[in-house]
Chains A and B, each alone.
Chain A
Amino acid sequence: MEQQVLKVDHITQQFGGLSALKDINMELNRGEIVGVIGPNGAGKTTLFNVITGVYKPTKGMVFIDGKNGTGKKPFEITKMGFARTFQNIRLFPRMTILENVMMGAYCRTSANVFQIIADTPKKKKEHIRIRERALELLKMMGLYEYRYELPTSLPYGEQRRLEIARALATEPMVLLLDEPAAGMNDQETEDLRKIILMLKQEGYTILLIEHDMKFVMNICERIYVLDHGELIAQGKPEEVNSDPKVIEAYLGKDED
């Protein structure tokens, strides 16, 4: 049975006079891998920011797992089960790689400041639990041996993997990946593809923004195409691929 985990309902986002998103509708079902593509400035990252609560939409609603998530704060959205990565990698540069991943599990811990200062068993247990979980995720992502290094010492592709590990540590239902393959070489892209397929097998739902058409066509089950803030096409990769509006958006209009 298909179960809807995200519904974006008539979202419009305006910045002053500029409409970054115009009346967008989309949905995401459990276990799917869905792509959002479009040329630069099409509004893809804005859409992510609206879903994750960084922006409050001008009009429209966002439903997360059937619950209203419109206008919620980013940390509340994370707690509701949406984890994201950033287009320009945003790790915590002066925390170790292990701490970076543990930071992801922060929203699944609850010791308050009194319990922390009193060092209660609950706090200790919880801290050990997120540490173990973080180590597990690092092993899964092949970053275990660097756990005490700073993230800035990792090559680019591995920083991306670390960001995914950190997102997974939040115990998400849905992963939102913002241009995960950007700036990667062919080998790194291939590794990433394997990781995403593995995550799908583990039952994660994935929404990804991507520029690399080949990558998206290979991996996504459904695709939404944005251009100038409007949804111009949606459907299976092969349908979208041959849609004249999409070709026009990417290659420009024929001049005759």
Chain B
Amino acid sequence: MIKKTVEFIALKQRFIIAAAVIFALLYPLLFSDLFILRMGTLCLMYIMLALGINLIMGYMGQMTFGHAAFWGIGAYTAAILSGRFGTNFIVDIIAAALVAGAFGFLLGLPVLKVKGYYLTIVTLGFGEIVRLVELNASGLTGGALGIRGISGIRLFAQEFTSPRAFYYAILILVVLTTVILMRINNSRYGLALKSIRDDDSAAEVMGVNVVRNKIMTFVISAMIAGVAGAFFAHYISYIDSTSFTTQASQEMCVMVILGGLGSIPGTMLGASVLTLVPEFIRGLAEYRMLIYGVIMVVMMLVRPQGLLGYTDFGLIRTRLLEERGKKKGGGENNGTTGTEG
């Protein structure tokens, strides 16, 4: 039953992707309710964050509990720049990516020589340090008061503040992130990451510079989180350090763990479920962390790789098509492995 469904999805994946994209494009037109639009926007932002963290957790197989720090760094960068210098959105995004990436690099230098639990603990510490700096460096970050009155999306000498504008902005960013991840997945870099995940010393013998690849992955992942942060700052228009806590980092991790390590659709599923479900069952809001805890434990026991973890729809598709090709006339189908999965 599950196998059939997976095969069906794999075969129809182009159709499903097209349908999903069309739905995402029409979403703000179909639902005019502001709450629903806001949910869609936040959902996309969390998808972006989760995709970024999946690069570290799913592909490279390292655990990080400090990712909200990069999100926060991006948000503060954008807020400070646009507040003090009136920069436009593109500049904010690039600056946020560069600053978050630089912090990812600095964290990566000493840290990525350690692995496993040690790395996790250091990222946890890093997240806390960044949060405390944000809370106390009042001159720069506004301290406990945060930064308020952040502008909307400034672009082409205009300022867009409508919910629809924000929705489409984050949709574009999510599509870009997805494309980047797909390309990484289907490249020598993707191979290197997976080999580090599976056996890093064998990877090194195969010619992979493990430390360099790890640092690069941290930088890219941090940049994605930074851009999501820049969007967040403009969208919410008020930021303070309470958004970028360890709890936020953990929520991102849970999204990936629930949805599927190393799987793009899985990550999207996990992030969507965990953003939308708590909002629609408000009555259970107080039990949110309890539910997250239970999900983590159950997933670790039952399906540690997540719902769609390591399920490569592209591969399943190639396989099915080749099998069919053989049955038809023995013709060999050497199509490149799809990476949509």
Contacts and interface: CB of A to CB of B under 8 A. Distances in A.
Contact of B199 (A78, A92, A107, A135): A92
A93 B315 CA distance: 16
Contacts of A96: 315
Interface string A36-60: 0000000000000000101000000
Interface in A108-145: 109, 111, 113, 116-117, 119, 123, 126-128, 130-131, 135
B315 A126 contact: no
A108 B205 CA distance: 13
A94 B206 CA distance: 16
Contacts of B205: 52, 54, 74-75, 78, 84
A75 B212 CA distance: 12
Contacts of B319: 148
A65 interface: no
Interface in A72-94: 73-75, 78-79, 84, 86, 90-94
Contacts of B197: 94
Given A90-B199, A113-B216, A106 B206 contact: yes
A135 B337 CA distance: 13
Contacts of A91: 199, 202
Interface string B136-149: 00000000000000
A229 interface: no
Contacts, number: 94
- Residues of A contacting B: mostly: helix
A35 interface: no
A94 B187 contact: no
Given A116-B188, A127-B187, A106 B207 contact: yes
B334 to A, nearest CB: 8
B220 interface: yes
A152 to B, nearest CB: 11
A123 B191 contact: no
Contact of B194 (A73, A94, A130): A94
A116 B204 contact: no
A125 B201 CA distance: 28
A113 B187 CA distance: 9
B310 A86 contact: no
B188 A126 contact: yes
- Sorting the interface of chain B by its residue count into under 10, 10 to 19, 20 to 34 or 35 or more gives 20 to 34
Given A79-B207, A94-B197, A117-B183, A102 B202 contact: no
Contacts of A94: 194, 197-198, 310
A170 B207 contact: yes
A104 interface: yes
Interface in B257-302: none
Contact of A123 (B187, B201, B202, B209): B187
Interface residues of A, number: 39
B88 interface: no
B306 to A, nearest CB: 13
A222 interface: no
B183 A106 contact: no
A103 B309 CA distance: 21
B188 A106 contact: yes
A98 B258 CA distance: 28
A135 B180 CA distance: 26
B42 interface: no
Given A75-B206, A103-B206, A106-B207, 20 more contacts: A73-B209, A75-B208, A75-B209, A90-B199, A90-B201, A90-B202, A91-B199, A91-B202, A92-B195, A92-B198, A92-B202, A94-B198, A95-B191, A96-B315, A102-B191, A104-B206, A111-B189, A116-B183, A116-B188, A130-B188
27 contacts: A54-B201, A73-B209, A74-B204, A75-B205, A78-B207, A79-B207, A90-B202, A91-B199, A91-B202, A92-B195, A92-B199, A93-B198, A94-B197, A94-B310, A99-B191, A99-B194, A103-B191, A103-B195, A104-B206, A106-B191, A106-B206, A109-B188, A111-B189, A116-B183, A117-B183, A148-B315, A170-B207
Interface of B: 180, 183-184, 186-189, 191-192, 194-195, 197-199, 201-209, 216, 220, 310, 315, 318-319, 334, 336-337
